[in-house]
Amino acid sequence: MNITVSQNRCPQNHHCPSIRVCPVGAISQNGFKAPTIDPEKCISCKKCVKYCPMGAIRVTE
Ligand code: SF4
């Protein structure tokens, strides 16, 4: 399972609120750009998937 960020769904105009819900610090953001998820750190807990109000973070197989 991979967690991915949809560039199209993320409006890229704010600090990503899901960054602070990630228990392992796997999400990083450069300015207001769509965040990126470090697959080496991510434990696929899906907290960010539930938290993103835009539905921009999703589970992909
Ligand atoms: S699924 Fe969990 S561990 Fe992975 S980036 Fe999202 S909050 Fe962090």
Closest C-alpha residue for ligand 1 atom 4: 42
Bridge partners of residue 33, in order along the sequence: none
Helices (H), 1-61: 47-51
Closest C-alpha residue for ligand 1 atom 6: 48
Q: How many angstroms separate the alpha carbon of residue 27 from the centre of ligand 1? A: 7
Report the pLDDT value the prediction gives residue 61, as an integer from 0 to 100.
Answer: 82
d(CA 24, CA 11): 24
Q: Cα separations (Å) of 54 from 3, 28, 40, 45?
A: 15, 17, 24, 18
Report the pLDDT value the prediction gives residue 48, as an integer from 0 to 100.
Answer: 98
Ligand 1 touching residue 27 (CB < 6 A): yes
All structural domains of the chain: 2-60 (3.30.70.20)
Q: How many angstroms separate the alpha carbon of residue 29 from the centre of ligand 1? A: 14
- In this prediction, the residues of the chain whose per-residue pLDDT falls under 50 are none
Q: Read off the pTM.
A: 0.92
